[in-house]
Structure formats: structure tokens, C-alpha cells
Amino acid sequence: MKTNLQEFIGTLYHNQKVVELLFSSKPHPRFKDELFEADSQLTEDRFRRLLNFQIIQETNHKYFLDERVVDFLSDFLHTGEINTGAVGDILERIKRNLAYYSESLRGDYLQQVKRLLQRLRNTLLALIVRLRGKIDESYKSAQSYELKKMELGYCRQDIAMLNEGIEESKKLLETYKTLLAIDEEMNQLVINLKQSFLQNSTYLFDIQNQIVEYLHKIYQQDEFYKHIHRLKELKDKSAGLHYVSNISQVAHQLHALHLTQYERPKPYVSLHYLYEEEGIKVVKKLREKLHTAYTYTPPAKVVMNTTLGKTSVVEIDKDELFALFARNSRDLFDYLLHFDFSPQFANFDEVQRLNLFVEMVVEYGEQLQFTDHYATLDFTNQLQQNQTLTYQVVLPQ
């Protein structure tokens, strides 16, 4: 039926109650009587015009909005929004049209499936583009650090829902693979859609990493703001801040090796020897002779004497240690910090445990869960200096 734009818009306007009812219940078709109950002004003539203009469709004596009208209204209502539910709606419509095609073998249902597959691909890509823009906008425009973290948290929920939508789409293609291979055009659409799934998963992974980076920056900025706020409070409470330093006195007491005229000794010993007990003693004597503040930190191993009088190196079994860690819910660094390494490693200090933490993060990274939370540790190093260490909370998967 040939019509013009004015007649089409006029039909939508005069039957807006029917359109509103069918759009709000688009997954479920309605009987004819329900449409007449929703609009008391609806007449048989107006109802036939809705059918003639293909604004509504009929199947098994039930009526629903044409897919093109649904797409138009959905796009108009959700312009610029991250409407992750659109993916689920498209999947339901694909299933419904495939079911109709299986019953009637009508070609128009097959054309609807082809159009919806193309729409699914375009919708996923558009949602990912909007999501990336929303993340940048949330980080740059939110008024406070708490709002930034809240907005980025919502974005992470959107990522999870989009990943779930991709997985559901893969299951649908696998379930209906026989019907979807009915002709060459349909087969090519399925191939293109599967390729887009791989690309979209990569994009979502990159966006997830961007969110983690932004959250880390927010944490650092929040800590810096707290320090500035504390300084301002101190300044307001006193007449002024005065800082006195004895840096000159301390500098005269230092005997830094790179500030003296001594030449650095050229060692002629094996590096493996320096890891043994005798080698450690030689390094300590050399440090005392040169008056240097350098402190040697041995690796995660210890030298033990056997009954034969020979030396052997006992190393930590990191595989067994990681297996023990994976059975609990504590974070990795806290677990290593309180783990009892005795008797072989009775003097295992915080610095050595930190080195072991870094080694295990590198080796077992794929089996760990890197959270957005950070913790601090106050400790005294071998030079009797107070230090504060900030580390990321890492949990087992």
C-alpha cells in the first residue's frame, strides 16, 4: 500500500493509546479485544488502517507492533543512553521470529531475523562506544571523588551486562545454527556477528583496564587531597607552620661512597658465592670498611649446613605456598606478611616478603584477582627508618 508521511504520522497520532500499549508490552502480543479496551475511540476503520500501514502485525489472532516501529521508538527514546537491556530485547525478538518462521515458513519472518542480526551487531558496538565516552566523562566531570567512584562502578556493571549479552548471543547462534544456515546471506551475517563478538570482548577488556586506571588515580588524588586538607587545618589552628631541619648536620655525618675519592672495588668472586653464607659475611665486612649505608637483602632462600659439612641452598616452594594461599580469602601480601616460614626462614623480614609478593604476582598473575582497593603497611627497615608501603589488594580467584 502506497502512503505518504502525513498519513502515516496522522495514523500514529490518532492511535497513540494502542501504540503505547503494544510498545510497553512488546514481548507479549495482545488480542484485538484488549486493544479496543485500551482505546475507547478505536474503530474498525482505524484498526484496519493500522494493519494496512503495517504499524501492527498479526499472528495467531494476536497483534504486536511492527519491528521497524519498535526500533524507531527505541532508538528515539534511548538516544545517548547506555541501554544494555536493548541487547536482550533484540535476542527475544530473534527467537520469536525464528519460532514464527519454523511454524509458517514465511519469508518475511526470515527477513526480520536477518535485519535483527545486523541490528544486534550495530547495537553492541554503539553501546560500547557510548560506554567509553561515559567513562571519560564521569572521570573528568564528576564533582567529587565519591561521585567519580560511584559512576565508574555503574560503568563496570554495564560492562558485566554487555559481556553477559555477548555470551547469550553466542548461545543463541549455537542453539539455532541449523535455521541460521538456511541461505548464504544469513550465513555471512552470522560469521560477521561472531567476529564482532571477539572485537567487542577486546574493547570491553580495554575499557575495564581504563576503569581500573581511573580508580587508581582517584585513590591517589583522594589521598593527596586529605594531606592538603590536613595541612590547611594545621595552618588555621596555629599562627604559622615552621619546619626546622638538621639536614646540614646529617649530611656531614654521612660517608656516602659516591661522594668520596675511593675507587669502587672490582670483585673477582662468583655471584653465586655472594648468595652463600660466607659471601654474605664478606659483603658485611666490606660495607663496614667502606662506611657505606648499603644494606644487603638476600633473596627468598637460606643457607643451611648438612650433616656432611657441605652447604646447600633451601628455596621456598612457591607452588606449594600459592596452593595454600588459594584456599583462603585473604589478600596475598597480608597472607605472606603473617605466614610462618620458620624454622628455615625465621628471620624473613618485610622487605624479603615484599620481594616474594612481587615474584608471585608475576608468576601467578592469571590465577589472581586484582581489586581496586589498596592497603598500607608501616614498618622499620634495616637502617631503623620508619617507612610506609602502599600495595594493591590481590585475592585468589
Start-to-end CA distance of the chain, whole Å, equals 60
Q: Express each pLDDT in 343-396 by its tens digit.
A: 666 677 777 888 888 888 888 888 888 888 888 888 777 777 787 878 888 888
pLDDT in tens, 171-229: 988 888 888 888 888 888 888 888 998 888 888 888 888 888 888 888 888 788 888 87
CA distance 179 to 190: 11
Mean pLDDT confidence for 29-46 = 84
The alpha carbon dihedral of 123, 125, 129, 132 has a sign of positive
E-strand stretches of the chain: 30-31, 56-59, 62-65, 301-305, 311-315, 368-380, 386-396
The domain ranges of the chain are 5-228, 247-296, 314-397
What's the whole-model pTM score?
Answer: 0.43
d(CA 329, CA 395): 7
Q: Which of 96-105, 220-229, 247-256 shows the lowest mean pLDDT across its residues?
A: 247-256
Sign of CA dihedral 155, 161, 165, 171: positive
The better pLDDT of the pair 22, 246 is held by 22
Higher-pLDDT residue of 168 and 274 is 168
Q: What is the mean pLDDT of the chain?
A: 77
Q: Give dist(CA 307, CA 309) in Å, integer.
A: 5
Of 240 and 30, the one with more pLDDT: 30
Is 283 or 126 the better-scoring residue by pLDDT? Answer: 126
Distance in angstroms (rounded) separating the CA atoms of residues 118 and 122: 6
CA distances to 140, 221, 293 from 226, in Å:
20, 9, 34
